[in-house]
């Protein structure tokens, strides 16, 4: 049967770094509070030249270079973003043009912080069904545009950036590639984490609102059941997982899932300390980092999971 191989990895982070101390000079918060509650020490902030499209294109280009693939090799482009630069054309087709890709098709997926899992799942389904021979899957987010600068309870949590993976179909037998993906949503919890308007409406709207405690509670419960679901679906046990590459929202949530999997900290890829929460970009950014620095190697079984606004949540298992 046809499977999707992970052939390329890429990432982009804006140059500008904002430390907790810098935030504390303007908001009633402190480095200690932010580190203790979230594990975040700093975040990258988009500059005037950084857009959802430009960051996605940087990350996508890197993923293609890693795979030694050219523009002609790309069939589908799927961008997960909740912060597109414009309503349409989609981020994906603008990236298509930026990268000089003239065949295939592109579209965006909005699933907030679960966006990368949803995009990966969609790309894998397109490849398995034969509708695409390859897919560039990108998460690109400019949350600095939707944060209320006066709301200390959300402003400190998020950063900007983009990450990408390039998938290619194989018909050869083997165990490498995406093993399975699992998506969930429950709109009854829409008011726990949402944006109160559309981008560009007015200065006072389109800000992220969050019930932090409730989101935390749902995250721990739903991510725990998600990791059980993906392992049970494939007849695997906790000890079969080589690496946890979680969505990077909060170190306490990540630690909770890692403890459940009985995974030691050195088997968990952490970027939240430096990137903060980059929503749909966080998993591919973490994957990119750990593959490039040699921690994740060919043959390793990687478990990914995420929860975000919607609520949406899900998991994915892949052998690199
Ligand atoms: N600095 C100092 N104090 C703060 C700050 C801040 N940046 N933010 C909030 N506080 C205050 C609150 O106002 C509150 O004060 P009060 O008691 O006088 O009202 C106090 O700290 C405690 O607030 P809580 O919200 O109860 O703090 P909690 O321990 O729950 O931590 C946090 C807050 C970090 C947001 C936590 O709830 C959390 O991590 N939730 C998960 C949310 C998340 O990660 N969302 C990301 C998107 S979803 C996802 O990706 C999983």
Task: Output the domain CATH number for residue 79.
Answer: 3.40.47.10
Pair (253, 132) in one structural domain? no
Pair (160, 195) in one structural domain? no
Pair (146, 122) in one structural domain? yes
Average confidence (pLDDT) over 224-235: 95
Pair (209, 253) in one structural domain? yes
Which residue from 9, 109, 101, 97 is spatially nearest to 59, judged by alpha carbons? 9
Ligand 1 centre from 153 Cα, in Å? 5
Pair (32, 165) in one structural domain? yes
Domain span at residue 220 reads 177-319
Pair (20, 67) in one structural domain? yes
Ligand 1 centre from 212 Cα, in Å? 5
Pair (64, 189) in one structural domain? no
Which residue from 49, 259, 277, 56 is spatially nearest to 165, judged by alpha carbons? 56
Pair (219, 192) in one structural domain? yes
User: Among 170, 198, 231, where does a domain finish?
Assistant: 170
Q: What is the pLDDT of residue 62?
A: 98
Average confidence (pLDDT) over 178-207: 89
What is the helix (H) or strand (E) element at residue 24, kind and residue range? Answer: helix 20-24
Query: Which tokens hold the place of 273?
Result: 């300390």
Q: Which of 39, 250, 275, 278 to mutate to test the pocket of ligand 1 (most atoms within 8 A of CB)?
A: 250
Average confidence (pLDDT) over 282-303: 98
- The answer for residues whose C-beta is within 8 angstroms of residue 79's C-beta and 6 or more apart is 52, 56, 90, 91, 92, 95, 106, 107, 108, 109, 119, 138, 139, 140
**Number of CB atoms found within 10 A of residue 56's CB:** 34
pLDDT category at 202 given cuts 50, 70, 90 is low
Vertex 112, ends 190 and 183: CA angle to 5°?
85
Confidence check: pLDDT of 201 > 70: no
CA 154 vs CA 67, 160, 201: distances in Å: 37, 14, 20
Ligand 1 centre from 157 Cα, in Å? 9
Q: State the pTM of this model.
A: 0.96
Pair (51, 122) in one structural domain? yes
User: Among 131, 155, 170, where does a domain finish?
Assistant: 170
298-316 exposure pattern, b = at least 16 Cβ within 10 A, e = fewer: eebbbbbbbbbbbbbbbbb
Q: Which of 153, 186, 280, 305 to mutate to test the pocket of ligand 1 (most atoms within 8 A of CB)?
A: 153
In total, the chain counts a number of residues equal to 320
User: Among 140, 170, 200, where does a domain finish?
Assistant: 170
Condensed to tens digits (0 to 9), the pLDDT of residues 253-268 reads 999 999 988 999 999 9
**Number of CB atoms found within 10 A of residue 274's CB:** 17
Q: What is the SS3 assignment for 66? A: helix
Pocket of ligand 1 (CB under 6 A): 29, 33-34, 37-38, 113, 152-153, 156-157, 193, 210, 212-213, 215-216, 219, 247, 249-250, 277, 307-308
What is the count of structural domains for the chain? Answer: 2
Condensed to tens digits (0 to 9), the pLDDT of residues 129-149 reads 999 999 999 999 999 999 999
Residue of 20, 250, 277, 288 marked active site: 277
Pair (312, 213) in one structural domain? yes
Ligand 1 centre from 33 Cα, in Å? 9
Which residue from 264, 273, 262, 257 is spatially nearest to 305, judged by alpha carbons? 257
ipTM over 0.90: yes
Ligand 1 centre from 193 Cα, in Å? 13
3-36 exposure pattern, b = at least 16 Cβ within 10 A, e = fewer: bbbbbbbbbbbbeeebebeebbeeeebebeebee
Q: Is 277 among the catalytic positions? A: yes
Residue of 247, 250, 275, 288 marked active site: 247
Which residue from 261, 320, 316 is spatially nearest to 291, judged by alpha carbons? 320
Pair (184, 277) in one structural domain? yes
Pair (87, 127) in one structural domain? yes
- Mean pLDDT across the chain, nearest whole number? 96
- Name the β-bridge partners of 5: 168
């Amino acid at each position: 049967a046809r499977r999707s191989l992970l052939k390329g990895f890429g990432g982009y982070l804006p140059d500008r770094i904002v430390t907790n101390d810098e935030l504390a000079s303007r908001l009633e918060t402190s480095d200690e509070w932010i580190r203790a509650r979230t594990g975040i020490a700093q975040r990258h902030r988009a500059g005037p030249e950084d857009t959802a499209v430009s960051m996605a294109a940087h990350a996508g280009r890197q993923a293609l270079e890693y795979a030694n693939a050219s523009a002609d090799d790309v069939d589908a482009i799927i961008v997960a973003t909740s912060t597109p630069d414009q309503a349409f054309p989609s981020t994906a087709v603008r990236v298509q043009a930026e990268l000089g890709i003239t065949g295939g098709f592109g579209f965006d997926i909005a699933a907030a912080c679960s966006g990368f899992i949803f995009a990966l799942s969609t790309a894998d389904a397109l490849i398995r069904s034969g509708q695409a021979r390859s897919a560039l899957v990108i998460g690109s987010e400019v949350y600095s545009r939707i944060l209320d600068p006066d709301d200390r309870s959300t402003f400190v949590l998020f950063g900007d950036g983009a990450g990408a993976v390039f998938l290619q179909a194989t018909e050869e037998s083997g165990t490498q590639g995406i093993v399975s993906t699992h998506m969930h949503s429950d709109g009854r919890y829409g008011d726990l984490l949402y944006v109160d308007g559309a981008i560009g409406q007015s200065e006072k709207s389109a800000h992220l609102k969050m019930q932090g405690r409730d989101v935390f509670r749902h995250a721990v419960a739903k991510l725990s059941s998600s990791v059980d679901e993906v392992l049970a679906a494939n007849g695997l046990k906790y000890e079969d997982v080589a690496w946890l590459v979680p969505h990077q929202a909060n170190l306490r949530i990540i630690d909770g899932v890692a403890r459940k999997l009985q995974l030691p900290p050195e088997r968990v890829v952490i970027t939240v300390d430096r990137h903060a929460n980059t929503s749909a970009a966080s998993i591919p950014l973490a994957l990119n980092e750990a593959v490039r620095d040699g921690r994740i190697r060919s043959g390793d079984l990687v478990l990914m999971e995420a929860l975000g606004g919607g609520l949406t949540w899900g998991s994915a298992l892949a052998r690199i």
